[in-house]
C-alpha cells in the first residue's frame, strides 16, 4: 500500500539524466500537501540516473505531492496515506525550555555517546557497535559524515564522500605527537561529485539508529582531515550542506551539528559558520535541532539559529559544575558533549575513571543539563569506542542507563537546580510551583546522614539511591523534619517525593 507512518520517510523516486554532472547541473524538488501542512522538500541525485525526494509528514491523513525538475519526468504527482505512528515512533525531538521532548509530547532526556566514525569501519566492527547500542545505554550518538584523521584513527575509512582517490599515508612521529593536522599531498577528489554509496550507507545507519530509538547527532564538518574535505571553497561547502540536508532531513532522529570543534577549522570565520547556518535553516523544512561544538573558544550560543548548547569542557577539573552558568548565559538547553572520556590513554581528555564520568553526568543532570559519554581505552586491537565504536569495556554505560531511568521518573520534562546545603547539589522538577519532587546528590562526598525539613502537613516517600551500585532502597515515609542514615559511601543520592493525601 502507498502509505507511511506519521514522522516516517516517504520517498519519491524519478529517472533522469546521468550525463554531465547531475549533482550541480540538475535539480528536483517536491511539494507535499495535506489539509494541515504544505512542505517543499529539495531532492537529490543518487547516482545511475536516479533522483529522490524525501518527505517527513507531521500529520495523519491523505497527502498529495507534485514534483518539479530541470528535466522531463513521467512521475510528476501522486497521493499517499499517512497512518498513525508506531509505538516507538514519537517524532523528532524539540526543545522545551531548558529541556527536550519528542513531537508527541513525550519527555526526552539526552544521555548520549560519541563514536565519531563508527559507520566508516569494517562491517564486523559496525555490527558490533549496533549490538552494543541495542543494550540501551544511550539514546543519542554523535558521529561524523566525513572520515576522521587523528590519534588512534590513522587508517583509511571504508568509503569517501566524494568521487576520487586518497594519497597513500604514512604516519610520521616526533616526540609525543603524530603529524595529524593538514591535508596530505596527492589526494584527488572532485568536490562537486558526491559518492552516493557513502551517503546511502550513512542513511542506513541513521535508520538503524531510529529503529532503536537513538538520535543521530550528525557532525557536518571537522578539522581532523588529511583529504581536503575541511578546506573546500565556500561554494563547495554550500553544495555539500544542501546535498546532506536533502538526503537526511526527512529522518526524524537527525540533529545537526555544524562542526565538531569549529574553532580548529582555521580557514573558516564566524561569518562562514553563520552563512552555513542559513543554509541549514533554508533547506531543512522540519527544523531539526541545531548546534555547533567548540574546542577552546565558545560559540555564541545565544544566536537565534542555535537550538541548544553543545559544549566541550573548559577546565581540567570542573565541567558539569558550570551547567548553571551556561543556562543563565545562553538561556537554552545545555548538553555537555565532551566532558572527558572514561579510559586510560595518554591524552588528558581520555583517561578519567568511570566513577568520575558518572559523577559528571549526575552533576550536570541535577543542575538542569545533560552530558555525553565517550570511551578511550588503550586496547591491543586499537579499537576505541570514542572513534570506532565496537565493544564497550568501561564501567560507566550501565550507570548512565540507570540515571536515565531515574530521569524518566521525574515529573515534567527535566530537573532544575534548587537551593540546598553548600556541600550538596540538589534539584527539583522543572515545573511551575512546588512539584513535591526533590533529588539530592553527594558525589565524591560520603556523609553518614542527612537531615531535612520539609513543609508540614505533607507526607514524603524517601529513597536512598546508590548511583554506582545502581540500587534504590526504601527509607520510609516521613513528615516535617527527619534524618536519613546513609552508608558512608561515595556517589549516593536521596530522592524525596510528596505522597498525594489520598495515597498517604
Residue 361 above 60 pLDDT? Answer: yes
Cα radius of gyration (the chain): 24
Residue 179 above 80 pLDDT? Answer: no
Task: Determine the average pLDDT of the residues in 474-479.
Answer: 98
Give the residue carrying C-alpha cell 550542506: 241
Residue 88 lies in a domain: no
Cβ-contact 212, 134 below 8 angstroms: yes
Check residue 178 and give its pLDDT: 47
- Domain coverage including residue 495: 424-503
Residue 176 lies in a domain: yes
* Cα distance between residue 9 and residue 376, in whole Å: 35
Cβ-contact 256, 273 below 8 angstroms: no
In which band, very low, low, confident or very high, does the pLDDT at 97 lie, cut at 50, 70 and 90?
very high
Task: Determine the average pLDDT of the residues in 295-303.
Answer: 97
**Span of 58-72, 109-123, 245-259, 428-442 with lowest mean pLDDT:** 428-442
Residue 388 above 80 pLDDT? Answer: yes
Residue 95 lies in a domain: no
Residue 389 above 50 pLDDT? Answer: yes
**Span of 80-84, 174-178, 237-241 with lowest mean pLDDT:** 174-178
Q: Are residues 352 and 483 in the same domain?
A: no
Q: What phi and psi values does residue 400 have, to the nearest 5 degrees?
A: -65, -40
Task: Determine the average pLDDT of the residues in 479-485.
Answer: 97
pTM: 0.97
Tens-place pLDDT, residues 411-442: 989 999 999 999 999 999 998 677 899 999 99
CATH of the domain at 457: 2.60.40.3950
The percent of residues in the chain predicted with pLDDT above 70, rounded, is 97
Q: Are residues 354 and 429 in the same domain?
A: no
Q: Are residues 37 and 75 in the same domain?
A: yes
The last residue of a domain, from among 360, 382, 408: 408
Q: Are residues 226 and 337 in the same domain?
A: yes
Q: Are residues 79 and 217 in the same domain?
A: no
The last residue of a domain, from among 348, 376, 408: 408
In which band, very low, low, confident or very high, does the pLDDT at 183 lie, cut at 50, 70 and 90?
confident
Residue 443 lies in a domain: yes
Check residue 52 and give its pLDDT: 98
Residue 39 above 50 pLDDT? Answer: yes
Residue 416 lies in a domain: no
Q: Are residues 339 and 371 in the same domain?
A: yes
Q: Are residues 197 and 323 in the same domain?
A: yes
Task: Determine the average pLDDT of the residues in 358-372.
Answer: 98
Check residue 432 and give its pLDDT: 67
Tens-place pLDDT, residues 125-160: 999 999 999 999 999 999 999 999 999 998 999 999
Q: Are residues 296 and 193 in the same domain?
A: yes
Cβ-contact 428, 440 below 8 angstroms: no
Check residue 180 and give its pLDDT: 58
Residue 182 above 90 pLDDT? Answer: no
* Cα distance between residue 391 and residue 158, in whole Å: 19
Tens-place pLDDT, residues 108-128: 999 999 999 999 999 999 999
Q: Are residues 351 and 315 in the same domain?
A: yes
* Cα distance between residue 211 and residue 214, in whole Å: 8
Give residues with Cβ within 8 angstroms of 223, minimum separation 6. 181, 230, 261, 264, 265, 266
| CB environment 138-155: b (16+ within 10 A), e (fewer) | bbbbbbbbbbbbbbbbee
Residue 280 lies in a domain: no
Check residue 177 and give its pLDDT: 46
In which band, very low, low, confident or very high, does the pLDDT at 1 lie, cut at 50, 70 and 90?
low
Check residue 503 and give its pLDDT: 64
Q: Are residues 395 and 322 in the same domain?
A: yes
Q: Are residues 198 and 121 in the same domain?
A: yes
CATH of the domain at 368: 3.20.20.80
Check residue 31 and give its pLDDT: 98
Q: Are residues 348 and 322 in the same domain?
A: yes
The last residue of a domain, from among 83, 101, 125: 83
- The domain tally of the chain equals 3
For residue 136, how many C-alpha atoms fall within 13 Å in the half-sphere facing its CB? 5
CATH of the domain at 33: 2.60.40.10
Check residue 74 and give its pLDDT: 80
Residue 360 lies in a domain: yes
Residue 337 lies in a domain: yes
Helix (H) or strand (E) holding 192: strand 188-194
Amino acid at each position: 500500500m502507498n502509505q507511511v507512518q506519521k514522522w516516517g520517510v516517504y520517498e519519491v523516486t524519478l529517472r533522469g539524466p546521468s550525463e554531465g554532472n547531475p549533482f550541480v547541473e540538475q535539480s528536483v524538488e517536491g511539494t507535499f500537501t495535506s489539509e494541515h501542512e504544505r512542505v517543499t522538500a529539495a531532492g537529490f541525485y543518487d547516482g545511475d540516473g536516479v533522483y529522490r525526494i524525501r518527505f517527513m509528514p507531521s500529520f495523519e491523513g491523505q497527502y498529495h505531492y507534485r514534483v518539479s525538475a530541470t528535466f522531463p519526468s513521467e512521475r510528476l504527482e501522486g497521493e499517499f496515506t499517512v497512518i498513525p505512528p508506531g509505538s516507538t515512533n514519537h517524532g523528532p525531538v524539540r526543545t522545551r525550555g531548558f529541556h527536550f521532548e519528542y513531537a508527541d509530547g513525550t519527555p526526552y532526556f539526552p544521555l548520549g555517546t560519541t563514536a565519531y566514525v563508527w559507520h566508516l569501519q569494517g562491517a564486523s566492527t559496525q555490527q558490533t557497535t549496533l549490538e552494543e547500542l541495542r543494550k540501551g545505554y544511550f539514546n543519542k550518538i554523535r558521529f561524523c559524515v566525513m572520515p576522521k584523521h587523528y590519534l588512534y584513527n590513522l587508517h583509511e575509512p571504508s568509503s569517501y564522500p566524494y568521487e576520487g582517490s586518497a594519497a597513500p599515508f604514512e604516519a610520521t612521529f616526533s616526540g609525543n605527537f603524530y603529524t595529524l593536522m593538514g591535508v596530505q599531498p596527492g589526494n584527488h577528489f572532485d568536490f562537486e561529485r558526491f559518492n552516493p554509496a557513502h551517503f546511502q550507507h550513512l542513511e542506513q545507519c541513521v535508520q538503524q539508529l531510529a529503529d532503536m530509538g537513538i538520535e543521530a547527532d550528525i557532525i557536518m564538518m571537522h578539522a581532523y582531515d588529511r583529504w581536503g574535505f575541511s578546506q573546500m571553497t565556500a561554494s563547495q561547502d554550500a553544495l555539500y550542506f544542501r546535498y546532506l540536508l536533502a538526503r537526511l532531513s526527512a529522518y526524524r532522529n537527525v540533529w545537526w551539528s555544524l562542526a565538531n570543534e569549529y574553532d580548529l577549522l582555521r580557514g573558516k570565520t564566524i561569518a562562514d559558520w553563520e552563512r552555513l547556518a542559513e543554509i541549514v535553516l533554508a533547506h531543512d523544512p522540519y527544523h531539526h535541532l541545531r548546534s555547533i561544538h567548540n574546542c577552546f573558544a565558545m560559540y555564541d550560543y545565544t544566536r537565534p539559529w542555535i537550538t541548544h548548547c553543545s559544549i566541550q569542557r573548559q577546565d581540567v577539573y570542573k565541567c558539569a559544575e558550570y551547567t548553571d552558568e551556561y543556562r543563565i548565559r545562553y538561556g537554552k538547553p545545555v548538553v555537555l558533549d565532551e566532558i572527558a572520556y572514561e579510559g586510560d590513554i595518554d591524552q588528558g581528555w581520555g583517561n578519567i575513571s568511570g566513577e568520575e564520568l558518572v559523577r559528571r553526568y549526575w552533576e550536570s543532570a541535577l543542575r538542569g543539563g545533560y552530558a555525553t559519554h565517550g570511551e578511550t581505552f588503550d586496547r591491543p586491537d586499537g579499537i576505541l569506542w570514542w572513534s570506532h565504536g565496537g565493544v564497550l569495556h568501561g564501567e560507566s554505560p550501565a550507570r548512565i542507563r540507570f540515571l536515565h531511568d531515574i530521569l524518566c521518573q521525574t515529573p515534567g520534562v527535566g530537573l532544575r537546580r534548587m537551593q540546598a546545603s553548600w556541600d550538596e547539589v540538589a534539584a527539583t522538577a522543572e515545573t511551575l510551583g512546588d512539584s513535591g519532587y526533590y533529588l539530592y546528590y553527594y558525589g565524591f562526598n560520603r556523609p553518614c546522614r542527612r537531615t531535612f525539613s520539609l513543609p508540614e502537613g505533607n507526607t514524603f516517600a524517601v529513597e536512598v539511591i546508590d548511583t554506582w551500585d545502581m540500587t534504590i532502597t526504601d527509607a520510609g515515609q516521613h513528615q516535617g523534619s527527619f534524618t536519613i542514615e546513609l552508608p558512608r559511601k561515595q556517589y549516593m543520592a536521596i530522592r524525596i517525593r510528596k505522597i498525594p493525601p489520598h495515597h498517604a
